[in-house]
Amino acid sequence: MAEVLLGFGGNLGDPTAAIETALQRLKAEGVRITACSPFYSTPAWGKTDQPDFVNLCAAGETALMPRALLEAIQRIEAELGRERRERWGPRVIDIDILAYDDRVIDEPGLTIPHPHLTERPFVLVPLLDIAPDWIIAGRSVREWAAEVDGNRVGRINP
């Protein structure tokens, strides 16, 4: 079994419900969720002229290989109404593979660890709740999180 870290977000419709549904569907796809952060409200990143996002991170275990995990995630996103229209644009749901064991993968359409993970407060702050000591690119989540401004990332109670 591989240990994985996953990031979830959305800012259209009811993102909290979409994330909860995605977590349930991942279980059906062979991903055992072992920990979830609280939900967070975060400003959009990259393309900022859109509603704030709801984000959550989860840790899990799976026997799926990285590409098969990505395919399962993309099926779930499509089932929940995700349309890929513009990079960093509004979306019903987004699920990212943040880390897969300690593997480094750089293939067309699949990069692990996630290439912007260490720059994103909306990922690092929730990861602090579930995996502060996970090592990514030679440093712990705690160390990476200390370098980003997490002041605009706030816990919410859905």
Per the residue annotation, which of 52, 82, 149, 152 is the catalytic one?
82
Catalytic position from the list 14, 49, 67, 96: 96
106 is catalytic: no
Asked about 91 being catalytic, the answer comes back as yes
Q: Does 142 qualify as catalytic in the annotation?
A: no
CB 34 within 8 A of CB 60: yes
Q: Quick check: 77 and 93 in contact, CB under 8 A? A: yes
Tokens 């990079």 belong to which residue?
A: 87
Question: Does 102 qualify as catalytic in the annotation?
Answer: no
**Structure tokens given for 141:** 């989540």
Catalytic residue among 91, 133, 149, 155: 91
Q: Catalytic: which of 94, 102, 106, 139?
A: 94
Which residues are known to be catalytic?
82, 91, 94, 96
